[in-house]
């Protein structure tokens, strides 16, 4: 079942602009990283540059969306959504961590223990960040809705 788009036309246009800028930042950032790979520098630096680019794009998209008062095209802007997204976002990395630790140590109980221990911390951190974003987005949306519409002359 396809979910309905919850944005009006102005919000949709603004989100498309944010996504477009994010794409071009990623495109040119990756171009620079590919060029760096031809230089005689450590792979560690290109890995760090790739991580910084990814985090920069994520931060830009989040901040620009909050500033525009946009939460998501399809998801509701509420605490329940934050809890579900935080839960999924903490389970997936925990599973990946268990797999990586098991591949390195071949100790299943220790690997599962590390994954289980890391999950609540990830969940709490992600939930806190999402709730702050939710509050900021609702506040910005209320500010934008309260502004009087400019009349065309």
List the domain boundaries for the chain: 7-70, 74-146
Would you state the pLDDT for residue 119?
92
Would you state the pLDDT for residue 149?
64
The pTM assigned to this predicted structure is 0.76
Would you state the pLDDT for residue 71?
84
By the 8 A CB rule, do 77 and 137 touch? yes
In sequence order, what are the residues at sequence separation of 6 or more whose Cβ sits closer than 8 angstroms to the Cβ of residue 73?
5, 6, 7, 12, 15
Residues 116 and 108: their CA atoms lie apart, in Å, by 12
Would you state the pLDDT for residue 3?
74
Residues 114 and 150: their CA atoms lie apart, in Å, by 56
Residue ranges in the chain whose pLDDT is less than 70: 1, 149-153
Per-residue pLDDT tens over the stretch 86-129: 999 999 989 999 999 999 988 899 889 998 999 999 999 999 99
């Amino acid at each position: 079942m396809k979910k309905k788009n919850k944005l009006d036309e102005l919000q949709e246009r603004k989100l498309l602009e944010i996504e477009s800028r994010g794409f071009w930042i990623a495109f040119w950032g990756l171009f620079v990283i590919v060029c760096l790979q031809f230089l005689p520098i450590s792979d560690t630096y290109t890995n760090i540059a790739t991580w910084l680019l990814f985090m920069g794009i994520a931060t830009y998209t989040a901040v620009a969306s909050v500033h525009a008062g946009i939460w998501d095209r399809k998801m509701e802007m509420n605490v329940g959504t934050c809890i579900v997204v935080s839960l999924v976002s903490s389970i997936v990395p925990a599973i990946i961590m268990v797999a990586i630790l098991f591949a390195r140590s071949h100790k299943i109980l220790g690997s599962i223990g590390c994954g289980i221990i890391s999950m609540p911390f990830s969940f709490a951190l992600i939930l806190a960040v999402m709730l702050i974003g939710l509050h900021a987005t609702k506040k910005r949306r209320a500010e934008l809705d309260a502004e009087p519409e400019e009349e065309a002359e």
